[in-house]
Structure 1
Amino acid sequence: MSKSLQGFATESRTVMIKPDRDLLTSSHWGTYRVEVQDGRVTGMRPFERDPDPSPIGPALVDLLDDPMRIKAPMVRKSWLEGGPGTAGHMRGQEAFVQVTWEEANRLVADELQRVRREHGNQAIYAGSYGWASAGRFHHAQSQLKRFLNCIGGYTSSRFTYSFAAAETIVPRILGTFRGFLNNQTSWESIATDCDLLVAFGGIPLKNGQISQGGLGAHIQRDGVLRAKAAGVEFVNISPLRSDIDAAIGAEWLAPRPCTDVALILALCHTLLVEDLCDDEFLARYTVGMEQFSAYLLGCSDGVEKTPQWAAAITEIPAETILELARRMAQSRTMVSVAWALTRQQHGEQPFWAVIALASMLGQIGRPGTGFAFGYSAMNNTGLNRQQVNYASLPQGKNPVAEFIPVARVTEMLERPGDAFDFDGTRYTYPDIRVVWWAGGNPFHHHQDLNRFRRAWAKPDTVIANDWCWNSLTKHADIVLPCTTTLERADLALTPKDRHQVVMDKAMEPVGQARDDHEIFRGIAARLGAEEAFTEGRSPEEWLRWIYTVSRQRAAAEGVEMPDWDQFQRDGWMEVPAPPKLTVMMEAFIADPDAHPLATPSGRIEIFSETIAGFGYDDCPGHPAWMAPAEWLGAAAPDELHLMSNQPHNKLHGQMDHGRVSQADRPDGLEPALMNPRDARTRDLSEGQPIRLHNARGACLATLRLSEAIRPGVVQVATGAWWDPDPDGDLCRHGNPNALTPDQGTSKLAQGPAAHSCLVRVEAFEGRLPERRAHQPPEIVPRG
């Protein structure tokens, strides 16, 4: 590997790379040493501190200058010729024209001025949801939102696709969600003080490959294996056996999808009627058990939530439910609930029900036990770490009050001026004229993509900052090409990992790509807002400012960070683990009067007077079973339940065209996992192309058979770039969001409900259509 690269130019000045260390970068998949030859990145090898590195990150090397790279500003042809509002229905089907950065900046600035003048800043939607980059400064959404706040603001989105239902309801129960999410009981505590870990939704190690903001060392596999070696027993409650690693030897209970709440309620019923509850815990630390007990016993609705009742819903035998409840009461028990369980109709209920179950067991706040929000949902879950509030790019204050729940984009575009409910208040959808996305891809994570695409035609202008021709950029009007993490300098300072890493600039930008800060600086200059946006700082000066403030904050929390020059020389540092193992809610349990929860009662609210007061018919005042519109209990004989879970070979849709993702589908189609019993009834066989369809759309996939998925279920991971057939509603590539329903979890949270989805599956007959997901659009000359 060459170490001859002595320095490189940025917008400000030369930043020196010391010859006595290799270049480093960090990403959501891990930290890597970067190999460079003749100014080009030739390889990325795992960071020596990482015991279980992900193979996904190094796939970026092949994509830096491949045909899908966007190398210059681009404008959709008819928009360029006809102006804003021209042929929005042609987004995704039309050629692009290359323009200069000067013209791109002028087009964007003029359109922003027009929309602000004629409609106001609330007509600009910059939800821009997505994972963006690991760097603390070059974080696309922060740059976008800072820029827009400098010119009057924008309509925003609230919460995340990952767990919007939990983000809304858990603060009503515990006073905060993020506060506990970031301080969950550590794996070391589980290994020392837990007997039984019951995992609703499993502990999928594939999800633990990633962490927001970058990571230095993967800990999930080691954590679960150490717990197993220490004698902890595991129960995997999921339609997929693989949701806990085979090496763990977990007991597998495979309920019908979207029925976990019924199972949890039956466990609670057993604890109640067999006098296995911790009554002292409930009296001291919770409120609302009386109302919840009445519901469990059927006093409030005439239906007793017995194991027999739950067995008919879940297809888990009643005796199994009884035995599990007794075992949980007799053991030191941790209950984990996966984030995926929020992404269903009534997705608020699983987290609420698990909190109620753990409260009845009375083991919350003790070492190794209680409840957790999804071990291995990300790498940082269960990591014993010192919390440091590192600085980031200040976004400023958004003067615009309008917002939408994050997953209600389609309704916003379809129904401007209509009312919607959210968390106890009624709001109105704004009239959006400009959509701007930077650092994400709604055509990956949104549901019912055919409906979404029709709504996407409505705005006057769609702007996208991105580095490759994915489904978002193909459906934009103005495309602003940005750099990758290897083409700019940054800092991976994250409270979610102990390792803090210098992200070196390893190569010059490909083509005319610019980092997001430079993109917005250029547009801000045309709008007279350059000084407000940059504050007179260059990118390097911003990095130094971020590091200086972070170092000061760390010192206030007892963490010593090296000075800037030493950090640049070393390339990384590790924050020492705290001397005491993390136990979630420990302070509250030790003294609930001195450390009350931020709820109306100061206690865990098993029944919430506040939520009950909203009067929502789809979210009552206590955990409850409400059957979703689409589930196996309401399915036709030939329907299957679709599970569209997270992929193992990419992060959402990032680098779908990379070698790791491509290796999993030699025929170019996303795999679909099915039980052999279901395949036989449909006369299907291993490896053949299949068509999954419902009233919302269809997608193609390649069939894979396994006994490790329960009958009645078909699984297709998300992340395949959407590749719609222009003449129909078929995704030729295998994106399951062509099929998933676009509906809110409830009036409370309005989160995504992708997992409440029924489909039919049949053999695909004839020649497979040409797939264009990994082909760039046509680029044509002007005029």
Structure 2
Amino acid sequence: MTWLGTTSHWGAYLARRRADGELEVAPHPADPAPSALLGNVPGTARHETRIARPAVRRGWLEHGPGPSSGRGREEFVEVGWDTALDLVAAELRRVRERHGDRAVFGGSYGWASAGRFHHAQSQLHRFLNATGGYTSSRGTYSFGTSAMLLPHLVGDADPLLRGADGWDVIRRRTDLVVAFGGLAPKNASVTPGGVTRHVGSAVLADWDGPELAVISPLASDVPPGRRTEWIRVRPATDVALMLGLAHTLLVEGLHDAEFLDRCTTGFDEFARYLRGGPGPERDADWASALCGMPAADIRALARRMASGRTLVSVSWSLQRSEHGEQPVWAGLVLAAMLGGIGLPGGGFGHGYGSIGDVGDTGPLLPLPTLPQGTNPVPEFIPVARIADLLLHPGDEFDYDGGRYRYPDVRAVYWAGGNPFHHHQDLNRLRRAFARPDTVVVHEPHWTATARHADVVLPVTTTLEREDIGAGRRDTHLIAMRRVLEPFREARDDHAVFAELAARLGVRAEFTAGRGTREWLVHLYERWRERLAADGHRVPPFAEFWDAGELELPVPPRTTPLAEFRADPAGSPLPTPSGRIELCPASIAAAGLPGHPVWLEPSDGLADDRFPLRLIAHQPRNRLHGQGDVGAVSRAAKIEGREPVRLHPDDAAARGITTGVVVRVFNERGACLAGALISDEVSPGVAVLATGAWYDPVDDPAQPGGSWCVHGNPNVLTADRPTSPLSQGCSGQQTRVQVERWTAEPPRLSCHRPPRLVPGPR
């Protein structure tokens, strides 16, 4: 067959079905650094975990809606589509009539497809809005803390993200990059909606830019290259190091007092804190005792930073921890003290090496999107508070200075996401998922979320439908061609919701009288009109579809921070003062300290019971949990389980060697993993990537009453918000112990379907 173009969150690519029926993929010809994740695609397309037909949990089918601990444990009955859709429609009608529209929670996380139309989150929200509304979620697991913090400081996060300097500018104009949390090359291949040219991946594959000082406990966070330096620090102490650097700049007169006076407010309050008011002087010696970096080296680094144009980069990983506001906030203040904000290649960067579009030079253009309608239900939760919502209806919670209450949710409808990947303390999440009356899930594969549902509706994958794809800074709009026929009885989300909408009397409102191709034409032509109004010539849909892709026009690049720097009064920031607010009153009003501070994590910097600091970062061999059954992901497993990396000294003290199965545990939970010994991990640190499909086995002897025998670290991480300001995810780090497992390990089941029996068709 002919090669057909499509795209994914890890990049655009070509695909075809060979004469022998096997799927073959190839990189996009224009991509300088294609993602290795393409290797997962062929093995997932027809894997045995694909859901063949609608299925209903036996207990729910026989006994009706209600709370149940059988979710994730019982067998499923396969039924016909009409039966399944009738059941779902009747249950939605019952819940709304008895408990109100807010009793329906619309769960989705948006990573299911890179397509603009078959965006599961948009489809779900459009459907729920058409049928009465729903309790919604706000923010993201990846960036929820910073997204809430940065508007208080600079008014708008976009200039620091989408408007960040490109790698080309950094390579030409920057003298030194100080990267707190690293610049992990593995993360640069991923962008929501995809990317056609992986510029950031190519840059980080062999760093040839300015001097680069990477502050991280992991060597894998350091790009290869002759101008890179790895500075090891104790995890969870980056803020202490930032304060020590800031103190050196202050007491040695190396800070840019003119910039601080002209472009910021609140620096005097922060300076008093550095000098010991109240508490100790936060100097290099104080910082060294916490972070482990010698005080002389801290002072020397501060002087290097002040001697030229420095970019202070803070990775997203640091804000995914308890008190996650502090490293972002302190990093911005440090950059302000250096006076480089608004200069090409200088100032503050947030997201370099965390996601592909930060540092990309593609055009910033609006993209075609499916209208979701208006949600009449005001109730919401911060996205990482799903377990609290289900376990504690009626309880109050703080969020961005406001006080809110969790509604009593009876039906959970999930499409396009896997909370049993993203969420923390999975034993607690299992208890939470046992509480609603009904859980409905759209899924292509038998993930843990599907196994914890009552009704599972099989949906198609990207390669089984038509769509339009592009990322936030992509250079191309991609015509996503259908390469494969839908698997067994799978349908696309839009088709499923259209049938449900018909049963609920709102088909016309949901579909607007359009099928998939009509929607693609409509969305494209509306987008084309918007671009034409801005002076960009874009061909009509038929021409675009025949060509297979469209190279996007590049509008003039705007630099709001440069304009602000040049004239703070004439180009003010959208903050109350019009300037960068280093100590905004709004943050203090939300319950946080009024300036960046060092706050020790609640589990401490040392614990004899759980002496290792676990880092649960993003995997290098899949996107979140997507592709875990693919070849690239499976090749990295040890004895079929996710590898946990340990320093040789920590491994030797425990009698652990590479290749053995180990138990990783703390007071919340436990999992099995395969040991991988490496001196690229700092002593006292264990690294277990997220994304191994959750494979729980009930065992009263294990913390929490069950354990994951596949290696999902979120059985270990705490379901604790970063702060009352953002209620963000704090799943990046926790404390654990690791021991060699000498018994026969339990059999893995997550890469096989659950028990299925035939039912009414």
Which residues of 2 match residues 20-39 of structure 1 at below 5 A?
A: 22-37=3-18
Q: Aligned pair 1:746/2:723, yes or no?
A: yes
Question: Following the alignment from structure 1 to structure 2, what is the Cα–Cα distance between the partners of residues 604 and 725?
Answer: 51
Q: What secondary structure does 1:229 align onto? A: coil
Partner of 1:54 in structure 2?
35
Alignment of 1:474-553 (within 5 A): 474-553=451-530
Q: Secondary structure at the match of 1:611?
A: helix
Contact 1:555 1:561 in 2 (8 A): yes
Task: Measure how far apart 1:556 and its partner are.
Answer: 3.1
Aligned to 2:167: 187
Q: Distance in 1 between matches of 2:633 and 2:490?
A: 25
Q: Which residue of 1 aligns with 2:267?
A: 289
Q: Is the 8 A contact 1:630 1:756 kept in 2?
A: no
Q: Quote the residue 2:571 is aligned against.
A: 595
Q: What's 2:118 paired with? A: 138
Tell me the alpha carbon deviations over residues 658-703 of structure 1, each in whole angstroms, 9 at most, x when there is no partner.
1110000141111011111111222222221110111100011111
Q: Is the 8 A contact 1:130 1:441 kept in 2?
A: no
Return closer, same or farther for 1:714/1:499 CA change in 2, 3 Å cut-off.
same
Letter in 1 for 2:575: T
* Partners of 1:541 and 1:688 in 2: CA distance: 55
Confirm or deny that 1:364 pairs with 2:337: no
For residues 583 and 688 of structure 1, the distance between their equivalents in structure 2, rounded to whole angstroms, comes to: 52
Aligned position for 2:51: 70
| Unaligned ranges ≥5, structure 1 | 4-21
Question: 1-side partners of 2:556 and 2:109: how far apart?
Answer: 36
Structure-2 residue corresponding to 1:325:
302
2:219 to 227, 237, 241: 241
Q: What residue number does 1:639 align with? A: 611
Residue 255 of structure 2 is aligned to residue 277 of structure 1: yes
1:353-387 deviation per Cα after TM superposition (whole angstroms, max 9, x unaligned): 11100000000111111111121212111111221
- More divergent stretch after superposition (566-575 vs 354-363): 566-575
Shift of 1:157: 0.7
- The one-character-per-residue Cα deviations of 1:52-85 (angstroms, maximum 9, x if unpaired) are 1112234222222221110111100110111111
Query: Is 1:671 matched with 2:640?
Result: no
> How far apart, in 2, do the equivalents of 1:534 and 1:584 lie?
39
Cα distance change on mapping 1:330 and 1:584 into 2, 3 Å = farther
The 3-state SS of whatever aligns with 1:113 is helix
Contact 2:192–2:472 (CA under 8 A) maintained in structure 1: no
State the AA in 1 paired with 2:29.
Answer: E
Which residue pairs with 1:170 in the alignment?
Answer: 150
Could you tell me which of 299, 312, 319 is aligned with 1:342?
Answer: 319
1:417 and 1:579 map into 2 onto residues whose CA distance is 50
Whether the 8 Å CA contact 2:201–2:356 is kept in 1: the answer is: no
Q: 559-568 vs 603-612, which deviates more?
A: 559-568
Query: Which digits, 9 at most, give the CA deviation of each residue in 1:69-114, with x for residues without a partner?
Result: 101111001101111116x201111111111111111111100011
Q: Give the secondary-structure state (helix, strand or coil) at the position aligned to 1:744.
A: coil
Q: Is the 8 A contact 1:694 1:759 kept in 2?
A: yes
Deviations 1:425-475 (A, max 9, x none): 111011110111111100001000011111110000011001011111011
Structure 1 CA distance for aligned equivalents of residues 205 and 90 of structure 2: 57
Please give the secondary structure, in 2, of the residue aligned with 1:762.
strand
1:526-675 alignment runs, 5 A limit: 526-577=503-554, 585-614=561-590, 616=591, 619-631=592-604, 633-636=605-608, 639-675=611-647
Give the TM-score of the pair, scaled to structure 2: 0.97
* Partner in structure 2 of residue 43 of structure 1: 24
Q: Distance in 1 between matches of 2:256 and 2:517?
A: 57
Counterpart pick for 1:117 among 69, 87, 97: 97
Amino acid at match of 2:466: A
Asked if structure 1 preserves the Cα contact closer than 8 Å seen for 2:204 and 2:224, the reply is: no
Report the secondary structure of 2:7's partner residue. strand
Give 1:435's aligned residue. Answer: 412
Distance 1:575 1:180 in 2: 23
Shift of 1:246: 2.5
- Amino acid paired to 1:81: E
Asked whether the 8 Å contact 2:398–2:725 carries over to 1, the reply is yes
User: Aligned partners of 1:444 and 1:260: how far apart in 2?
Assistant: 26
1:223 has 2:195 as partner: no
Distance (Å, rounded) in 1 between the aligned partners of 2:134 and 2:631:
38
Q: 2:154·2:580 contact (CA, 8 Å) conserved in 1?
A: yes
Aligned to 1:313: 290
Residue 768 of structure 1 and its aligned partner are, at CA, apart by: 1.1
Of 168, 171, 193, which aligns to 1:213? Answer: 193
Q: Which residue of 1 aligns with 2:702?
A: none
Aligned AA (2:532): A
Range 713-722 or range 702-711, more displaced: 702-711
Contact 2:638 2:673 in 1 (8 A): no
- Residue 391 of structure 1: how far off its partner (Å): 2.4
CA shift in 2, pair 1:637/1:89, >3 Å: closer
Q: Counterparts of 2:332 and 2:7 in 1: how far apart (Å)?
A: 35
Distance 2:483 2:580 in 1: 50
Q: Greater CA deviation, 244-253 or 688-697?
A: 244-253
Name the counterpart of 1:105. Answer: 85
The amino acid of 2:574's aligned partner reads A
CA distance in 1, matches of 2:470, 2:718: 37
User: For the Cα contact (< 8 Å) 2:469–2:479, is it kept in 1?
Assistant: yes
Q: How far apart, in 2, do the equivalents of 1:643 and 1:243 lie?
A: 12
Q: 1:781 aligned to 2:758?
A: yes
Is the partner of 2:420 in helix, strand or coil?
A: helix
Q: Which moved more, 1:562-571 or 1:770-779?
A: 562-571
1:250 matched to 2:223? The reply is no
Hey, what's the Cα distance between the residues in 2 that align with 1:781 and 1:564? 44
Q: Aligned partners of 1:318 and 1:756: how far apart in 2?
A: 25
Give the conservation status (yes or no) of the 8 Å contact 1:161–1:406: yes
User: How many pairs align?
Assistant: 755
Which deviations, in whole Å up to 9, do the C-alpha atoms of 1:678-733 show, x marking residues without a partner? 11222222221110111100011111111111111000000000111123421100
Are the counterparts in 2 of residues 390 and 554 from structure 1 also a CA contact under 8 Å?
no
Cα separation, 1, equivalents of 2:319 and 2:242: 15
Rounded to whole Å, the distance in 2 between the matches of 1:647 and 1:598 is 36
Match of 1:502, SS state, is strand
Confirm or deny: 8 A CA contact 1:339 1:373 kept in the other structure.
Answer: yes
User: What does residue 373 of structure 2 align with?
Assistant: 396
Amino acid at match of 2:12: T
Deviates more, 1:245-254 or 1:425-434: 245-254
State the one-letter code of the partner of 1:296.
L
Point out the more displaced range, 179-188 or 422-431. Answer: 179-188
Rounded Cα–Cα distance in structure 2 between residues aligned with 1:701 and 1:495: 36
- 1:384 and 1:577 in contact (8 A); partners too: no
CA distance in 1, matches of 2:226, 2:615: 23
1:178 Cα deviation after fit:
3.6
Q: Identity rate of aligned residues, in percent?
A: 48
Alignment match, 1:410: 387
Give structure 2 stretches of 5+ with no counterpart: 700-704
What is aligned with 1:735? 712
Q: Counterparts of 1:684 and 1:704 in 2: how far apart (Å)?
A: 9
* Equivalent AA in structure 2 for residue 59 of structure 1: N
Question: Which secondary structure state, in structure 2, belongs to the residue aligned with residue 246 of structure 1?
Answer: coil
Tell me the distance in 2 between the aligned counterparts of 1:487 and 1:534.
20
Shift in Å, 1:634: 3.3
Distance 1:157 1:638 in 2: 34
> What's the offset of the Cα at 1:595?
1.9
Q: Do the aligned residues in 1 keep the contact of 2:180 with 2:216 (CA within 8 Å)?
A: yes
Q: Residues 747 and 66 from structure 1, CA distance in 2 versus in 1: closer, same or farther, beyond 3 angstroms?
A: same
For residues 732 and 50 of structure 2, the distance between their equivalents in structure 1, rounded to whole angstroms, comes to 33
Superposition TM-score, scaled by structure 1 size: 0.94
Letter in 2 for 1:608: P
